[in-house]
Amino acid sequence: MSEAVRVLQEVDTAVGVHYLVKVDGEDLGHFSSCEGLGVEVVLESREEGGFNTGVWQLPTRLKYPNVKLSRPLGAGTGKVARWLSKVSQGLVATTATITARSTSGQDIVTWNLLGVVPVRWTGPSLTTENGKVATETLELAHHGFHDGAGW
């Protein structure tokens, strides 16, 4: 296979990606948008006497932004509602996987998250005045990645 064909196949794989979300193995369905997967190294600035050419930037800890998942309302909405109901009975941090999939169903990459807790669920504005697609958004906090997940 030529390099050009391989690159085109990779680009095609990345177009039309959707995200399968599972929490402790429980399938919450596919989402069309996933934002916030990342990590930030928090730095502490230290000035050292006699070191006049700069300031030391020392890493202290890692911060993980919340992950926001969005999709049109559908059958998966009930799965999220059931999971949130279970969580409300006793808030326990869990694990989650977010798998990016191509339109053909091929797994592209999976991120494994630790200490996942729901932050908020937002449903659609209920109005008949506009012709917009009704969407839902699920926001999750987490304590980091494991198993070399995705990055």
Rounded distance, CA 23 to CA 85, Å? 14
pLDDT tens for 5-32 read: 444 444 444 558 999 999 998 999 999 9
Q: What pLDDT sits at residue 139?
A: 98
Q: Which residues touch 107 (CB under 8 Å, ≥6 apart)?
A: 99, 100, 101
Regions of the chain short of the pLDDT cut 50? 4-13, 149-151
Residue 88 belongs to some domain of the structure: yes
Q: What pLDDT sits at residue 2?
A: 56
Q: What pLDDT sits at residue 8?
A: 40
Q: What pLDDT sits at residue 148?
A: 54
Residue 151 belongs to some domain of the structure: no
Domain that holds residue 124: 3-37+65-145
Residue 74 belongs to some domain of the structure: yes
Count up the domains in the chain and report the number: 1
Residue 49 belongs to some domain of the structure: no
Residue 32 belongs to some domain of the structure: yes
- Tokens of residue 50, six digits: 């006699």
Residue 31 belongs to some domain of the structure: yes
Q: What pLDDT sits at residue 4?
A: 44
Q: Say what the pTM is.
A: 0.80
| CATH number of the domain within which 126 lies | 2.30.110.20
Degrees (nearest 5) of the Cα angle 130, 135, 149?
Answer: 155
Q: What pLDDT sits at residue 105?
A: 87
Residue 14 belongs to some domain of the structure: yes
